[in-house]
Amino acid sequence: MLVQLVLALQASLVVVEVLPLSGNSTSRATTLVAGLPAELPPQPTIPLSRGVLLVAALALALAALFSSPHSTNLGIALTTLSALVSQCMTRSWTRLAAIVPALAVPSAKNSSRPLSTFAAVPSPLAFPATMGSFSSAASQGRDDGAEILDSPSEWRAALSALPSLADLHDVLPTIFLAHGSPMLIHPPHLANARSGPLLSIQGPEGPLVAFLKDLGPLLMEKYTPRAIVVLSAHWETEGGGVVTDYGDKNPLLFDYYGFPKELYEVTFKSRGDKAIAQRVVQVLKEGGIESARLTNKLEPRGEDGRGFMGPGLDHGVFVPFKLMFKDEAPVPIIQVSIPSDLSPATQHALGAALSPLRREGILLIAGGLTVHTFRDFGSFSPAAAAEKYRVWEKAIVDAVAVKDPKARHRALFSLVHHPSFRSAHPREEHFVPLYVAQGAGETGNIEGREGARVVCGLWGSKTVVFGV
């Protein structure tokens, strides 16, 4: 009888498992206060029947254990139950990983994704609609240094003040870029319906969009690069240094989930360059990155939000670049993976290995964010964020502002030990690209051009230029 009961439970769980996620994407597991989650961000509801049945099955097995510990049928039942639990947990983990970013981080060695481990990006359309302002920190009555250069006039002045290529003796600077989220290119009429805190800075009509549109043309005009080598928080490999060789057309990897179909129809034209890609591999190997190699369109590098593995530039590249360069990149774009150990030292070493490219007319851009946590969606808005996030943002500004190169190096490396770091970055992947830009920008400079500057200090989306 016990076996039949467990088998019946298994059949019920299988039926529940194949049911779609609840259609009510705005269901709340917590009480909303002032339009924000009290504890957890709202996520699409997963049917509770699965969990109830699993608990019932476990209870049944425990009851049987105490009533008949030597039963042969019990052994069969527990074996079946073990397989059931494993199957249910595996499927549920996979489904959860598509909507909860913290779960979508398999290790590089154990991942089924041969070239990539990345945090999945869920759609924020289920977030509460609470805010969406395009205003500076001063207008919000805050002058604590957490937000600087956050108005168009301020960041344009900072960009204009960057040294010219002649001033830098033809050694290009390096950039840690606030690459934003897919919401930057989200259709405004859809985003405004239910956008939540993320819209405040990274919405399609927010200030980060305006900054990126200013940044791209200035970089092309001031530094006239012949190519861009870009690194993103969304592409990790063991050791780093995997280099795209996609030929005349770079594909796009839509590595985000739950967005409207318009975000899977986005286009951005760009091309690679085999000779430059080969040169990138060469300097990486010469710089001690033994894992450096080329990858092409036949080799998947990640999971596409449309449901298949594939190659391509991820959204940490094509989303900001579409705003910076409109619909087509003016120069070849080569993407390089970051080391999956996510340590500042290995990221810095990767950047240092790439540094010779700065003297060859190649612009190095490493993309991420200074605040990136889906455990607290209020953190994405300066009006809603807890004080600990303001302290964190101020610490970044202060570290970049240190004048002495060695002291600044130490200050930047110490940021990962800041008391608020883990709150702002439950996983490090969106912050450590800063160390790639730092490593490249600290290496090979002419004397007097070893500085670093925040050129846009938007909340959670700071952009820093090194080697100036």
pLDDT tens track for 151-175 = 999 999 999 999 999 999 999 999 9
Same domain, 257 and 355: yes
How many domains, the chain?
2
The CATH number of whichever domain residue 163 belongs to comes to 3.40.830.10
292 with 243, same domain: the answer is yes
Under-50 pLDDT residues of the chain: 1-55, 57, 61, 64-114, 116-119, 125-139, 141
pLDDT tens string 224-265: 999 999 999 999 999 999 999 999 999 999 999 888 899 999
> Does 114 reside within a domain?
no
Residue 360 covered by a domain: yes
Residues 189 and 42 in one domain: no
Do residues 150 and 270 both lie within one domain? yes
Model pLDDT, residue 195: 59
Residues 91 and 216 placed together within one structural domain of the fold:
no
Q: Report the pLDDT value the prediction gives residue 200, as an integer from 0 to 100.
A: 77
Report residue 349 as tokens. Answer: 């070493």
The Cα 93–Cα 76 span in angstroms is: 26
129 and 45, same domain (yes or no):
no
160 and 79 in a single domain? The answer is no
Residues 85 and 223 in one domain: no
Per the structure, the complete domain to which residue 315 belongs is given by 121-466
Residue 217 included in any domain: yes
Residues 6+ apart with CB under 8 A from 351: 174, 364, 366, 435, 436, 437, 438, 439, 440, 441, 443
Quote the distance between the C-alpha of residue 286 and its chain's center.
29
Q: Are residues 87 and 167 in the same domain?
A: no
Please indicate, yes or no, whether residues 135 and 211 belong to a single structural domain of this protein: yes
Residues 434 and 302 in one domain: yes
Which residue bears the tokens 């964020």? 385
Residues 330, 397: one domain?
Answer: yes
In a domain, 115, yes or no: no
pLDDT at residue 88 in the model: 43
Q: How many whole angstroms separate alpha carbon 172 and alpha carbon 225? A: 8
